[in-house]
Structure 1
Amino acid sequence: MNQKTIFSGKRLYAILLAGVLTMGLSLASEAQVSYGFKLGAGAACQSDLLQIANNCDVRFSPSVGFITKYQLTEGFALKSGLEYQQKGRSFTENNVDVTNKLQYLTLPVKAEFSAGEKAGFKKGQRLYFAAGPYLSYMLDAEGKLDGVAFNLNSDTKDFDAGIGLELGMEFPVFNQKALQVGLNYDMGLVEVYKTEADLHNKMASISLGLLF
């Protein structure tokens, strides 16, 4: 990939990030805004487009990031933020252990729908479902063959994009703060590698978020 293409990709990411921040400032004047952080752990793999998972190449996938939530109505909110995520795959081929670790900075934008007391939940508890697109910028890509590391940056694309889903419960804690426990699934829609066709990132995880 030439420098002009890389510059264009970074510029696109910066424009989208600026757009989300501008949208956030606009919504902040009309919505109840919460901020917080999120920790996650799960399993990542790479498989064909729209395939849920490939059970043969799952690897551990941690994530950590910041959350901004705009509560527009009692049952509807918009969530965004920035997350560090590890994705990739791990498998054995011809008696050789292969691991690809891809590190991303991810910008998600999700619509969150929730149900509280009207649905029978008590003490401020809420059941929520969130869905929306994400855009990820590649920070680093590393491969290992039987434990020997090699660089994958020249073989991987700078950007990933896809759809993120989240289902969870929210609990009030510590005087006006909220704890969110969620099940997450990300489905990539962009091919990860330049030389291998039809391999897309997939990640399922459990997350814990604290909103202030």
Structure 2
Amino acid sequence: MSSTTRLPPGRKLDRSRDAAILDATLSLLAELGYEATTVDAVAARAGTVRATVYRRWPTKIALAIAAVAHLGSVDAGSAVLPDTGNLRDDLLATIVPMSAEEQQLRIDVMSTLADAGRTEPELAALTAGAGLEPWVEVSRSLLRRAVARGEYPSGDIETLATVIPTMCLYRIAVQHEPITKAFAIRLIDDIVLPALRGRS
């Protein structure tokens, strides 16, 4: 099956299998690592055929990027954008409770992709960006709202919006540690809020 398989003209792609395929990709990346994860294995785990996978993602790198983006979107979507009236509580409310198993899946997936990125830099950069962007958007929205209501002076919102997601990714992929509430509180209280106030 060619990796550039195309649907017949006029036929709309059925997206109902996407989540199952991406979840299968994540579980195999966590179990086997990037190199040992194949499209055939993903298709078998998802209960479909390789052609169904290739119609959506023409390469294994594209599939891995989509799987990480899916994971980030699911996690960020679980944190309904809060509006407590102050930024600190809003940021704390976005912390998504996870079981040890859920945390370990994220550690294993991002760690194996970071390792693979040593020989495929594009893979590391693109998967990291895909996983970060949903959380950056959450942070960006909360920061902008806090500034708009006069809670903090205007500042470099775009840079600050990346701080918490990037530090969380580093903790998972490099340090192989789970994201705890205590860790998130330190980021909020010691880095983000002081930066917004304009002091170190």
TM-score (norm 1): 0.23
The structure with the greater share of residues assigned to strand is 1
The structure with the greater share of residues assigned to helix is 2
